Amino acid sequence: MIREAACGDLEGLLLLYTHLHEKSVPADTPERAALWDKILSDPDYHIIVAEVEKQIVSSCVCVIVPNLTHNLRPYALIENVVTHADYRRRGLASACLAFARELAGKQDCYKMMLMTGSKEEDTLRFYERAGYSRSDKTAFNQWL
Containing structural domain, residue 10: 2-129
22 band by pLDDT with thresholds 50, 70 and 90: confident
Check residue 9 and give its pLDDT.
98
32-53 average pLDDT score: 98
**Residue 85 falls within a domain, yes or no?**
yes
**Residue 97 falls within a domain, yes or no?**
yes
Of 81, 104, 96, which Cα lies nearest the Cα of 1?
Answer: 96
Alpha helices in 7-110 (DSSP H): 10-16, 30-41, 92-106
Check residue 141 and give its pLDDT.
87
Phi-psi region at 79: left, alpha or beta (left = phi > 0; alpha = psi -120 to 50):
beta
80 band by pLDDT with thresholds 50, 70 and 90: very high
Q: Decide: 115 and 133 in contact? Cβ < 8 Å.
A: no
Number of domains in the chain: 1
**What CATH number has the domain bearing residue 13?**
3.40.630.30
Tell me which DSSP letter residue 70 carries: T
**Residue 103 falls within a domain, yes or no?**
yes
